[in-house]
């Protein structure tokens, strides 16, 4: 009997679900090449290359970038570029910090006994079982109350007052990333053969050398996948950022959301297409690297 046999009904149902998953994405990508500025109907591709964009009855008929007109516009859009910069800055910093301290906590929780251990362990599950918006408005309230008190107490002038901004977003992103890093590294530590470390100790390595030469290299895959997850969660985050960002710290998802509530040009689609392309390449690379390990 062929173990991989599936009934036609299953195959049909799965194809339909795949169609459901991909039809919207295809439409999104198609419309990023739309000649129509209003982006309501797909008016065909822009086929002509000319040094200056030409408009005819709401249609872009020629552009220096040809079909990629909206992508060129996007790269000249200052707001998009600054939002992209913010998104990356936030993701890089919060990933580094959360990976380091999350890994430390994983070691502590798995290898040590201490009073606060049960509390720390339980607190890591909070972000999983609580809707993100509850966390978001909680953090917003905390910052606004804290900053209110501090601004008053320190009599800070208008330009040095504490406000929401990049700093608050980064601190909040670290908060929701830590649990994922810690839980992943902890899981890795659980399935650990302690005899390697004992052997190193028997051969005269001290604790630090053992950690550096044995424990850490064995943990590295876990740390890396935690790191990767933290990075993508930060890039992707909407809700927490929505409540903790301030002027000048707009990220791409927040910027996009703002656009959806105003006028939509194919630029929005171009931005989405670029994002999807990046996701595509990133997931492909991750899957390839994981396969090689196995």
Contact positions with another protein (CB under 8 A) in 154-183: 171-172, 174-175, 178-179, 182-183
Distance of CA 140 to the CA centre of its chain: 20
| Alpha-carbon span 246 to 162, nearest angstrom | 11
Of 63 and 266, nearer to another protein (C-beta) is: 266
Q: Rounded to an integer, what distance in angstroms lies between the CA atom of residue 127 and that of residue 133?
A: 10
Considering only residues 253-292, where is the footprint of another protein by CB under 8 A?
A: 253, 256-257, 260-261, 264, 268-269, 272, 275-276, 279-280, 282-284, 287, 291
Question: Residue 153, interface with another protein (CB under 8 A)?
Answer: no
Backbone angles phi, psi at 11, to 5 degrees: -65, -45
| CA R_g for the chain | 25
Of 24-32, 58-66, 158-166, 214-222, which part binds another protein (CB under 8 A)? 24-32
Q: Which is nearer to another protein, 41 or 158 (CB)?
A: 41
Q: Is 131 in the site for another protein (CB under 8 A)?
A: yes
Size of the site for another protein (CB under 8 A): 93
Q: Does 132 bind another protein (CB under 8 A)?
A: yes
Contact 72, 63 (CB under 8 A): yes
- Residues ≥6 apart with Cβ < 8 Å to 34: 42, 43, 44, 70, 266, 269
Instruction: Choose between 64 and 138: whose C-beta lies nearer to another protein.
Output: 138
List the interface residues with another protein, window 184-243 (CB under 8 A). Answer: 184, 187, 232, 236, 238-239, 243
**Stretch 100-129 residues interacting with another protein (CB under 8 A):** 101-102, 104-105, 107-109, 111-117, 119-120, 123-124, 126-129
Scanning 55-63, 66-74, 133-141, 153-161 for contacts with another protein by CB under 8 A, the matching segment is 133-141
Alpha-carbon gap, residue 183 to 177, rounded angstroms: 10
CA distance readout (Å), 177 to 91, 245, 285 = 10, 17, 22
């Amino acid at each position: 009997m062929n173990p991989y046999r599936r009934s036609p009904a299953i195959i049909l149902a799965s194809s339909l679900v795949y169609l459901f998953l991909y039809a919207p994405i295809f439409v999104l990508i198609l419309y990023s090449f739309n000649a129509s500025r209003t982006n309501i109907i797909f008016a065909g591709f822009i086929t002509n290359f000319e040094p200056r964009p030409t408009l005819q009855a709401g249609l872009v008929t020629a552009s220096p970038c040809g079909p990629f007109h909206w992508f060129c516009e996007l790269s000249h859009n200052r707001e998009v570029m600054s939002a992209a910069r913010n998104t990356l800055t936030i993701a890089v910093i919060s990933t580094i910090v959360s990976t380091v301290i999350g890994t430390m906590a994983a070691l502590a929780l798995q290898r040590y006994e201490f009073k606060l251990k049960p509390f720390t362990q339980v607190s890591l599950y909070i972000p999983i079982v609580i809707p993100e918006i509850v966390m978001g408005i909680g953090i917003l309230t905390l910052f606004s109350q804290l900053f209110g008190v501090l601004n008053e107490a320190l009599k800070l002038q208008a330009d040095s007052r504490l406000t929401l901004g990049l700093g608050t977003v980064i601190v909040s992103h670290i908060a929701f990333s830590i649990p994922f890093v810690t839980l992943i590294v902890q899981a890795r530590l659980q399935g650990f053969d302690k005899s390697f470390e004992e052997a190193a100790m028997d051969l005269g390595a001290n604790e630090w050398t053992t950690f550096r030469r044995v424990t850490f290299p064995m943990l590295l895959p876990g740390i890396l996948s935690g790191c990767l997850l933290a990075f993508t969660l930060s890039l992707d985050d909407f809700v927490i950022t929505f409540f903790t960002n301030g002027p000048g710290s707009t990220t791409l998802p927040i910027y996009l959301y703002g656009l959806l509530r105003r006028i939509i040009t194919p630029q929005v689609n171009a931005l989405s297409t670029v994002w999807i392309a990046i996701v595509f390449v990133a997931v492909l690379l991750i899957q390839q690297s994981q396969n090689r390990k196995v």
